[in-house]
Amino acid sequence: MRVTVELPDRARVVVIGGGVIGSSVAYHLAHAGWTDVVVLERDRLTSGTTWHAAGLMTCFGSTSETSTAIRLYSRDLYARLEAETGQATGFRPVGLIEAAADRDRLEEYRRVAAFQRHLGLEVHEISPGEMAELFPWARTDDLLAGFYVPGDGRVNPVDLTMALAKGARALGVRVIECVAVTDVLTAHGAVTGVRAAGQTIECEYVVNCTGMWARQLGERNGLVVPNQAAEHYYLITDTIEGMDPDAPIFEDPSSYGYYREEGGGMMVGLFEPEAAAWRVDGIPADFSFGTLPPDWDRMAPFLEKAMARVPITMEVGVRTFFCGPESFTPDLAPAVGEAPGIRGYFVAAGMNSVGVLSAGGLGRVLAHWITTGEPDVDVTGFNVDRFRADQLEPAYRAARTAEILGTVYAAHTPGKQLHTARGRLLSPVHDRLVEQGGLLREVSGWEGADWFAGAGQTPEAEPTWGHAPWFEQWEQEHRTVREAVGLMDMSFMAKFRVRGAGAGALLDRLSAGAVNGDPGVITYTQWLGDGGRIEADLTVTKLDDDDFLVVASDTAHGHVRARLQRFADPSVSVTDVTADLAQLNVQGPRSRDVLAGLTDADLSTEAFGFRSARWVELAGARLLLARITYAGELGYELYVPPADALGVYDAVRSAGAAHGLRPVGLKALASLRMEKAYRDFGHDIDNTDCPLEAGLGFALALDKPAAFIGRDAVLARKAANAAAGGPARRIVQVRVRDPEPLLFHAELVLRDGRPVGYVRAGSYGWTLGSAVGLAMVEGDGEPVTPDWLSSGAWEVDIAGTRYPAEVSLRPLYDPTSARVRV
């Protein structure tokens, strides 16, 4: 259906898509004071995916602070939206029961429950008998426990969308249906308008909220949003006697099912372990309020298992069997944020079947981001700039979507891997990793070795929350770097060559450190936003006048590239050389001895000190040799042309044999860096952190002649901290005193029995003798100072059990970095 409407000539913001996400973005923009907003919906509001969503409003299950906050905000908003707008949302806080059917899930849920309680979610562990009392239709005798969230519930997705749209309209937003946007118009790297119904609407901002069409719309402007539609199933039974509309939602992921009352019967929803992508070639433009033909043969085993958990569903008739499309991203995280290379083009798509329960909070986040220029939550795992162009390929999307949907209800046991769409990006020394028995895992599309079983051995590892047999190999690799020398392949690291007359000035403006000094020097630095918070954590190496190498982590690849492109002027060329330079790291106290036998270059400390970099001849190849470490020892990074990488790798291995060299994987790198308290952007530091709080003040050149982005904000925060007697929050290193428990992420940190933060990233410290992590802690009105830390009794909550711990602002291993500078 199409109607003739009068479109405005311009608007400040055009929101494309009238589902629950687009309506929430418009609502929150209006509440932020931006009312010159137009929502354009190609058909009717909710006509894509929203109309057939199951309507769950559940918060339990995440160890992401951002995701939890988004859901808690959504739940609160939905409860009060009717009072504001007069439009019911159908929100009913009937409660949620999450079932744990096996030990892995029980361990995971106990960790999740402790973490989310700290963030304000009321959740109780209950017995199988208590589960049966709350939801008597389910068979619970074979379950271990349940987790009950009394404030969670259900909502009507269509009514919710209408309430958000009504609230936006009341503040001046125009919501226009039956108008399809055909193009987003840009000029000079910025949005200028949209083309719709044969007309042009000028605008400063566009928000792509087109759901399963987001990829197709984004591709018109070269934007990568690799979400893909997949089949999603639920059924609704005939009336069940005694079925209570206020009965809680019941979820049993091990049976692939979620269950709730619907129209006197029961809805049984499915997240099967092996899914099916739909219309990989593209979603039809006229697909509205549509359903898909169900694949009974594929779904029968999963459906039978789900219904067996609630036997009454097999005894009554089925009123509705529904199959409809929902879109998923390759990593099961949403695609959110400003498009790389296009100022003013924002995306909010790829909701992975949690769009309704995320919509309120996500709309608030986008509105804040658009109106202020920066997000106020950690978006490092959500940012749309993380995606790669190869993820748009049809074969990739088809395979990965079928697997990733199957992980929605899978246990998240450490060590689990994705297996589809693998082997796409291979290091030049990949064959050696395989020959040496490397357990390969995906690293931002690359294949990286986690640990090595040994030459000719097949690595085996079962996911586990506890100690595993392969920990012996991990420990040996860790100790090899501490005591001798290890060889690591790090070719997946993001690498950019920045050249031209303006290169130095550009990087000095971006970098909080002084990067434009003498050639041959590596500078560890942060890039900040206008608010003085971290946008990137990386190294800048000045190779020569007007010639620099920027190296960042694999996960920051897209964000660093986007930032370089955004600020570079025509006098600067930015080249992604990630695939043009293999990176081989030789780390450990005997690394100099190994390399000295392969080059005529003087590697003595006097001639080649810490943070030095220069081109050398080594093992018959010309390569960039950089003396730098992420392991906390004397060490070097070798940047090698791919054609020479295998020869150099073999030469280093051969020369290292007499010095105890062995191949080392990423598990050892993680434990080595964690013992040294080295930060990792996107894991233990993120875009919400000021470098002063993150313990990175030493990397700031606040007095350098060139002003850098965020300097004024950092100076203001430094003055405020001084006036207050110290920062209100700081990152500390945490070590569990008991050698048995393990740290992963999101374990609570307690001072004198009160939670003051949580572990952002953890590993095992083989040198320190127990688990170690990095945590952001807050003083609750007191500054976080050495005295405050030393005067408290510290513990870590691991799955509900508290263990004594020690905390420190300085690295617990080699706090003066003497080993790095020898």
CB-based contacts of 5, cutoff 8 Å, min separation 6: 176, 178, 179, 197
Residues in a beta bridge with 114: none
Mean pLDDT of 786-799: 97
Looking from the CA of 368 toward its CB, the CA atoms found within 13 Å total: 13
SS3 label, residue 69: helix
Res. 416: pLDDT tops 70: yes
706: exposed, middle or buried (C-beta count within 10 Å: 0-12, 13-18, 19+)?
A: middle
Rounded to a whole number, what is the largest CA-CA distance in the chain? Answer: 86
Inter-residue contact 480 to 667 (CB < 8 Å): no
**Which residues face 514 on adjacent strands?**
none
The percentage of the chain sitting over the pLDDT mark of 90, rounded to a whole number, equals 99
- Smallest CA-to-CA distance from 417 within 460, 385, 479, 375 is with 460
3-state secondary structure of 411: coil
Q: Which residues of 218-253 are buried (b: 16+ CB within 10 A; e: fewer)?
A: beebebbbbbbbbbbbbbbbeebeebeeebbbbbbb
**Mean pLDDT confidence for 123-150:** 98
Mean pLDDT of the region 547-571: 97
Average the pLDDT over 416-444 and give the result.
97
Kindly state the tokens that stand for 436: 């040496």
CA-nearest of 300, 298, 303, 331 to 401 is: 331
> For 791-810, what is the mean pLDDT?
97
Least Cα distance to 794 among 733, 719, 717, 726 occurs for 733
pLDDT at 296: 85
Looking at the DSSP assignment, which residues form a beta bridge with residue 763?
Answer: 772
What pLDDT sits at residue 604? 98
Instruction: For residue 818, give every residue at least 6 positions away whose Cβ sits within 8 Å of its Cβ, in sequence order, or none.
Output: none
Rounded Cα gap, residues 32 and 370, in angstroms: 10
Structure tokens, 216: 């197709």
Cite the DSSP H helix spans in 531-633. Answer: 557-567, 591-596
Q: 498 and 564 in contact (C-beta within 8 Å)?
A: yes
295: its two tokens: 């694949």
- Please tell me the predicted confidence (pLDDT) of residue 4: 62
How many residues does the structure list for the chain? Answer: 822
Q: What SS3 state is found at 371?
A: helix
User: What residues does each domain of the chain span?
Assistant: 13-216+226-328
CA distance 645 to 621: 9
Residue pair 189/341 in contact by the 8 Å Cβ criterion? yes
Q: Taking 90 as the threshold, does the pLDDT of residue 143 lie above it?
A: yes
Q: How far is CA 74 from CA 161, 316, 360, 363, 444, in A?
A: 12, 35, 4, 9, 31
| Nearest of 504, 501, 511, 498 to residue 708 by alpha carbon | 511
CA distances from 306 to 212, 251, 708 (A): 27, 10, 57
pLDDT in tens, 399-408: 999 999 999 9
The Cα 24–Cα 167 span in angstroms is 9
Tell me whether residue 309 is exposed, middle or buried, using C-beta atoms within 10 angstroms of its C-beta: 0 to 12, 13 to 18, 19 or more.
Answer: buried
Secondary structure class of 653 (helix, strand, coil): helix
Q: Which residue has the tokens 């013992």?
A: 675
pLDDT for position 1: 42
CA dihedral 775, 115, 465, 435 (to 10 degrees): -50
Distance CA 267, CA 478 (A): 51
The full DSSP string for 609-631 is: -TTBEEEEEETTEEEEEE---SS
DSSP 287-315: --S------HHHHHHHHHHHHHHSGGGGT
pLDDT of residue 507: 98
pLDDT of 606 strictly over 60: yes
pLDDT of residue 618: 98
Q: How far is Cα 549 from Cα 565, in angstroms, rounded to an integer? A: 15
Phi, psi of 368 (to 5 degrees): -65, -45
647 neighbors 693 (Cβ within 8 angstroms): no
Mean pLDDT, the chain, integer: 97
Residue 2 has pLDDT above 70, yes or no: no
Instruction: Tell me how crowded residue 124 is: count the other CB atoms within 10 A of its CB.
Output: 12
DSSP, collapsed to helix, strand or coil, labels residue 114 as: helix
CA angle 395, 397, 403 (to 5 degrees): 105
Mean pLDDT across the stretch 654-683? Answer: 98
- State the DSSP code for 22: H
Cα–Cα distance for residue pair 359/365, rounded to 1 Å: 10
Which residues contact residue 393 at a Cβ distance below 8 angstroms, ignoring those fewer than 6 apart? Answer: none
Whole-angstrom distance, CA of residue 212 vs CA of residue 214? 6
For residue 444, what are its two tokens? 């931002």
- At 232, list the tokens: 């999603």
pLDDT the model gives residue 780: 83
Q: Is the dihedral of CA 668, 674, 676, 682 positive or negative?
A: positive
pTM of the model: 0.96
Closest Cα partner for 233 from 318, 303, 333? 303
Tens of pLDDT, residues 692-725:
999 999 999 999 998 999 999 999 999 999 999 9
User: Are β-strands 573-576 and 335-338 bridged in parallel, bridged antiparallel, or unpaired?
Assistant: unpaired
pLDDT at residue 5, as a whole number: 77
Q: Could you read off the pLDDT of 629-639 as tens digits, one per residue? A: 999 999 999 99
Q: Where are the beta strands (DSSP E) in 225-339?
A: 228-237, 249-252, 257-262, 265-270, 318-328, 335-338
Work out whether strand 96-100 and strand 249-252 pair parallel, antiparallel, or are unpaired: parallel
Sequence-distant (6+) residues with CB within 8 A of 37 are: 11, 12, 13, 14, 15, 26, 29, 30, 168, 172, 173, 174
Q: Give the gyration radius of the chain's Cα atoms.
A: 27
The yes/no answer on whether domain 13-216+226-328 falls in CATH 3.40.1440.60 is no
Residue 735: is its pLDDT beyond 50?
yes
Residue 124, H or E segment: strand 124-126
Mean pLDDT for 290-318 is: 95
Q: Is 151 helix (H, G, I), strand (E, B) or coil?
A: coil
Only one residue has tokens 């004071």, namely: 33
Tell me the pairing of strands 573-576 and 547-552.
unpaired
Instruction: Count CB-CB contacts under 10 A for residue 1.
Output: 8
CA 792 to chain centre: 33
Alpha helices in 630-750 (DSSP H): 642-656, 666-675, 711-724
**Contact (Cβ atoms closer than 8 angstroms) between residue 632 and residue 733:** no
Q: Nearest 5°: phi and psi at 211?
A: 60, -125
Q: Which pLDDT score is estimated for 356?
A: 98
**In the structure encoding, which two tokens stand for residue 176, read together?**
């226009």
Q: Who contacts 787 (Cβ-Cβ below 8 Å, separation ≥6)?
A: none
Q: Rounded distance, CA 400 to CA 442, Å? A: 13
d(CA 270, CA 267): 10
Quick one: pLDDT at residue 303?
Answer: 96
